[in-house]
């Protein structure tokens, strides 16, 4: 089982959109669980699964078997979701009180290793104990970057948080919400592509199609397969799968 953590210190950069679309791409050939770690539950909403209201309590316990069979089916074959709920709001406090507080998620995920080939973690923005857990559990960290001078700073922050977690986890960054008509976007995109070895040559365009993900409540490729955005997420999944040696 491979764990893919979608993370950024910045909010609103397309993490949830990426998590949902990567999970869908992965589910073409693998059994996938998307775990929504954000109490606002955006991924839970998009995948149309019902919050269960017990996530935080279970995380607080020492049990490692609670995930087994707990992924809820979605409208898509081979794609399950573990929904977020309001109780995740104080997940940091719960984790802080637990033994080995930065390893809790990784240990829980061991219990689903037989059920899933791929787990995608959708993190809330910012650095937190939840994020630290998600990064610790990760086989690779996927970082969406929007074309702005501040994006390099957020990538540097991710690199340093991952490095501090004492694991040499590969980081894959890519550009998203790229709007060729916006002043500064093409130049920022070009400079970001060459700026760090972590930045892939993949750009998800800013399009109405992706924006509609929340309204249609579906991954892009499920309702608009022949679009540049769907194809970019397909390319991103190919790069991620190669990085974690999934063929
Ligand atoms: N390529 C794109 N083109 C147009 N809109 C996009 C694109 N990617 C994401 N969006 C829109 O941008 C908004 C933020 O995206 P998303 O929720 O995925 O970001 P996030 O990083 O998860 O945010 P948060 O930090 O609040 O969790 C959403 O309304 C989403 O539909
Ligand atoms: Mg989000």
Ligand 1 centroid from CA 78, angstroms: 24
* Nearest protein CA to atom 6 of ligand 1, as residue: 211
Q: Which two tokens stand for residue 97?
A: 């009180």
Rounded to the nearest 5°, which phi and psi values hold at 16?
A: -65, -45
Q: Which two tokens stand for residue 92?
A: 């940091």
Ligand 1 atom with minimal separation from the 19 CA: 18
Q: Is the pLDDT of residue 58 over 80?
A: no
Instruction: Tell me the percentage of the chain whose pLDDT exceeds 70.
Output: 93
Ligand 1 centroid from CA 170, angstroms: 23
CA distance 1 to 88: 24
Q: Top-level CATH class of 2-243? A: alpha beta
The whole-number pLDDT of residue 42 equals 95
pLDDT tens, residue by residue, 89-115: 888 887 888 777 888 889 889 888 999
pLDDT tens, residue by residue, 165-185: 767 899 999 999 999 888 888
Q: Which two tokens stand for residue 53?
A: 């209201």
Does the pTM surpass 0.85? The reply is yes
Ligand 1 atom with minimal separation from the 125 CA: 25
Q: Is the pLDDT of residue 188 over 60?
A: yes
Ligand 1 centroid from CA 145, angstroms: 11
* Nearest protein CA to atom 29 of ligand 1, as residue: 211
Residue among 5, 17, 19 to mutate when testing ligand 1 (max atoms within 8 A of CB): 17
Pocket lining for ligand 1, CB < 6 angstroms: 11-17, 38, 42, 124-125, 176-177, 204, 206-207, 210-211, 213-214, 229
* Nearest protein CA to atom 30 of ligand 1, as residue: 211
Ligand 2 centroid from CA 178, angstroms: 18
Q: Using an 8 Å Cβ cutoff, are 38 and 123 in contact?
A: yes
**In whole angstroms, how far apart are CA 98 and each of 37, 207, 209?**
17, 42, 42
Q: Which two tokens stand for residue 125?
A: 């923005």
């Amino acid at each position: 089982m491979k764990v893919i953590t979608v993370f950024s210190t910045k909010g609103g950069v397309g993490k949830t959109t990426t998590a949902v679309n990567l999970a869908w791409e992965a589910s073409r050939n693998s059994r996938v669980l998307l775990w929504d770690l954000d109490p606002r539950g955006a991924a839970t909403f998009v995948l149309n699964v019902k919050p269960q209201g017990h996530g935080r309590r279970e995380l607080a316990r020492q049990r490692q078997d609670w995930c087994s069979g707990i992924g809820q089916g979605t409208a898509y074959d081979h794609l399950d979701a573990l929904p977020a709920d309001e109780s995740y709001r104080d997940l940091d406090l719960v984790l802080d009180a637990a033994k080995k507080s930065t390893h809790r998620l990784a240990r829980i995920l061991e219990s689903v290793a037989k059920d899933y080939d791929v787990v995608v973690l959708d993190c809330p923005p910012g650095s937190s104990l939840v994020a630290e857990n998600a990064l610790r559990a990760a086989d690779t960290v996927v970082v969406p970057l929007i074309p702005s001078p501040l994006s390099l700073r957020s990538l540097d922050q991710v690199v340093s948080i991952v490095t501090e977690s004492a694991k040499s986890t590969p980081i894959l960054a890519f550009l998203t919400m790229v709007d060729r008509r916006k002043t500064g976007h093409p130049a920022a995109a070009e400079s970001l592509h060459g700026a760090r070895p972590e930045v892939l040559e993949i750009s998800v365009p800013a399009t109405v199609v992706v924006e509609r993900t929340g309204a249609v409540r579906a991954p892009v490729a499920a309702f608009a397969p022949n679009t540049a955005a769907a194809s970019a997420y397909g390319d991103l999944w190919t790069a991620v799968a190669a990085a974690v040696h999934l063929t």
